[in-house]
Amino acid sequence: MTTGRAFRPTAGRPDDGSAAAAHGDADSDAHSDAVISVERLTRVFRRRGDTDLAAVDAMTFSVGRGEAVGYIGANGAGKSTTIKMLTGILAPTSGTARTCGLDPMRGRRELARRIGVVFGQRSQLWWDLPLGESFDILAAIHRLEPRRAATRVGQLIELLDLGPTLAQPVRSLSLGQRMRAEVAAALLHEPELIILDEPTIGLDVLSKARLREFLIAQRREHGTTLLLTTHDMGDIERLCDRVLVVDHGRLAFDGTLSGLAGTVGAQRVLIVDLDRPTDALHGIPHTRWLGAEGEGVRQRLAFDAADTTAAAVLAAVAERATLRDLSIEEPDIEDVVRRIYSAPPGGITG
């Protein structure tokens, strides 16, 4: 499905949170199944001598409990502004946001106990203290019972392989070690929602893989809800069930990765290995013949998942040749997102 409304809200001065708070807690029951719920959420920045900037423009979406959602967009699209409103750092100009059933501005203190946040470029650890002491301080801030805190810290240290770094000052950790420590800090109090903003930025391949596997395990074992912003499409593919694309402050797409590919016309490619040289497989319904190798022993056919299925294409091929092997190439997600970013405002449709 696709979401997003084609209208421009009236720009006004950012308020002190009363616009969102005016709806109070009266509608909390309506969103009890949603960990995140925003309705026509808007944030306008006033610029002297220039037109007002709607960084987030009438955004509406929700995230259910246990979901893993990728929130992607080009730089300046409105991702960080949305996260700041969801976490109570920034007040909306208009519209409403609820996180874990709370108004983020009015319930900021309670919300801090129920969410964990990692900003790839900012640290919640104490730079000059040993990592272990940072964990102790954070456990005290969250008012964790000592036995519970010790058990949880032990779990995270083991799962994220942080034992050798506990006595080291945070400033001496490698980037991969520090990012794993940041994720551990965000999950120390076992939040129901974790928001990760560029968590793998600058990490090497091994560090990325280790962090991704940990997050997958945390979701599986604890049912943690995940909202992830990233420019690394590998993060989205490995971690997320659903993707939201924000473009010029508006929600341009809400659905699965395969649906996102279909939205911009990206196609799957069926590669068939045949038992003998075969003429080009032109004329297979709903496919486009891309080429052949080895005198036609291997052939490639592109198809749109909205028009046909791999099984239907295979059946049609099998009527003309004997199959030995097959594989399917999925659309390159980075190419899909590049197409969306390069589209004019409002040019993305589903």
Per-residue pLDDT of the chain (350 residues; tens, 9 = 90+): 333 332 223 333 334 433 333 334 434 444 458 999 999 999 999 888 778 889 999 999 999 999 999 998 877 888 889 999 999 999 999 999 999 999 999 999 999 999 999 986 678 999 999 999 999 999 999 999 999 999 999 999 998 889 999 999 999 999 888 988 999 999 999 999 999 988 887 778 888 888 889 999 989 988 999 999 887 777 888 899 899 988 888 888 898 877 777 776 678 899 999 999 999 999 999 999 999 999 999 999 999 877 888 899 999 999 999 999 999 887 766 667 667 766 655 545 44
CATH C-level class of 267-330: alpha beta
Please state the domain extents for the chain: 18-261, 267-330
Predicted TM-score (pTM) of the model is 0.72
Structure tokens of 128?
Answer: 């000059």
Per-residue model confidence (pLDDT) at position 186: 93
Contact present, 41 and 59 (Cβ < 8 Å): yes
Structure tokens of 196?
Answer: 């990760």
Given the DSSP bridges, would you call strands 53-64 and 34-45 parallel, antiparallel or unpaired? Answer: antiparallel
Residue among 146, 73, 128, 152 at smallest CA distance from 342: 73
Structure tokens of 206?
Answer: 């091994």
C-alpha span between 224 and 221 (Å, rounded):
8
C-alpha span between 219 and 72 (Å, rounded):
20
C-alpha span between 124 and 126 (Å, rounded):
7
Amino acid at 310: A
Contact present, 230 and 243 (Cβ < 8 Å): no
Cβ neighbours for 122, distance < 8 A, ≥ 6 positions apart: none
Per-residue model confidence (pLDDT) at position 100: 95
Per-residue model confidence (pLDDT) at position 332: 67
C-alpha span between 206 and 175 (Å, rounded):
12
Per-residue model confidence (pLDDT) at position 43: 95
Residue among 30, 35, 37 at smallest CA distance from 66: 35
Cβ neighbours for 273, distance < 8 A, ≥ 6 positions apart: 297, 298, 323, 324, 325, 326
Positions of E strands within the chain = 34-45, 53-64, 68-72, 94-99, 115-119, 193-197, 225-229, 242-247, 250-255, 268-274, 287-293, 298-303, 323-329
C-alpha span between 299 and 290 (Å, rounded):
8
- What fold does the segment set 18-261 form as a domain? Rossmann fold (3.40.50)
C-alpha span between 226 and 224 (Å, rounded):
6
C-alpha span between 8 and 51 (Å, rounded):
14
- Residue 153 gets which letter from DSSP? H
Residue among 266, 279, 281 at smallest CA distance from 329: 266
Backbone angles phi and psi of 234, in degrees to 5: -65, -35
Q: Name 299's bridge partners.
A: 272, 292
Cβ neighbours for 88, distance < 8 A, ≥ 6 positions apart: 99, 104, 105, 107, 108, 111
Per-residue model confidence (pLDDT) at position 232: 78
